[in-house]
Chains A and B, each alone.
Chain A
Amino acid sequence: DGGITQSPKYLFRKEGQNVTLSCEQNLNHDAMYWYRQDPGQGLRLIYYSQIVNDFQKGDIAEGYSVSREKKESFPLTVTSAQKNPTAFYLCASSMAGNEQFFGPGTRLTVL
């Protein structure tokens, strides 16, 4: 089945740690996205990538980093510079000009 997978489903981070969230798609989509969701805030764009080896900052990129070395993979690293990382993180992908398909999400909690 084609789709988007995110792992892990739940992730716990200690203060000062970097953590990496995985996002993989087998839809052959060119574009991939990372969103952050907080209660009552909707989804906010962190980073996006239109093609391999290229990515752009979204509205809330500070404290996050990404890479796009392969078309099917777009991992997100939450660095220690992100002061309030506890949130639900959603990865999405799309073909240009079409709707986005979302993964099941990763819930990150800072201990």
Chain B
Amino acid sequence: AQSVTQPDIHITVSEGASLELRCNYSYGATPYLFWYVQSPGQGLQLLLKYFSGDTLVQGIKGFEAEFKRSQSSFNLRKPSVHWSDAAEYFCAVESLSANQAGTALIFGKGTTLSVSS
């Protein structure tokens, strides 16, 4: 079965420092991968997606992610974090289980990012 693991529940980064959020997935084929961000009490906003092609994908708000098939990872990075980046971040993979459609998603449990000044 497909699954997504985000090993870090909570990360604190200083403003201006670099950021890397980890995501590992379990999947039987070439996956569709996503990173979403959620502010408290809000819906999710798509940061970036990987469907195929270049394994380094650029997203909104200065985020990027690298797909590494050999490591089953899709880590999210940002070179310089801003205080407004404090939020919860979710990695997701397309679900292809018998009970779900091709475009349904399986989410990790999320990583909460705090930004210190």
Q: Which residues of A contact B (CB under 8 A)?
A: 4, 6, 31, 33, 35, 40-45, 48, 50, 56-59, 88, 90, 92, 94, 96-105, 107
User: In B1-27, which residues have CB < 8 Å from any A CB?
Assistant: 4, 9
Which residues from A are CB-within-8-Å of B107?
35, 42-44
Residue of A with least CB distance to B109:
A42
Q: Which residues of B contact A (CB under 8 A)?
A: 4, 9, 34, 36, 41-46, 49, 90, 95, 99-105, 107-110
Contact B101 A48 (CB under 8 A): yes
Identify whether the interface residues of B are mostly helix, strand, loop, or mixed.
Answer: loop
Contact B41 A42 (CB under 8 A): no
Contact A56 B43 (CB under 8 A): no
A-B CB pair tally, cutoff 8 Å: 66
Identify whether the interface residues of A are mostly helix, strand, loop, or mixed.
Answer: strand
Question: Closest Cβ of chain B: how far from A103's Cβ, in Å?
Answer: 5
22 A-B interface contacts by CB (under 8 A): A6-B43, A31-B103, A42-B4, A43-B105, A45-B100, A45-B105, A48-B101, A50-B101, A56-B101, A58-B99, A58-B100, A59-B99, A88-B41, A94-B103, A96-B102, A96-B103, A99-B34, A99-B46, A100-B46, A102-B44, A102-B45, A105-B42
Which residues from A are CB-within-8-Å of B36?
102
Question: Closest Cβ of chain B: how far from A74's Cβ, in Å?
Answer: 14
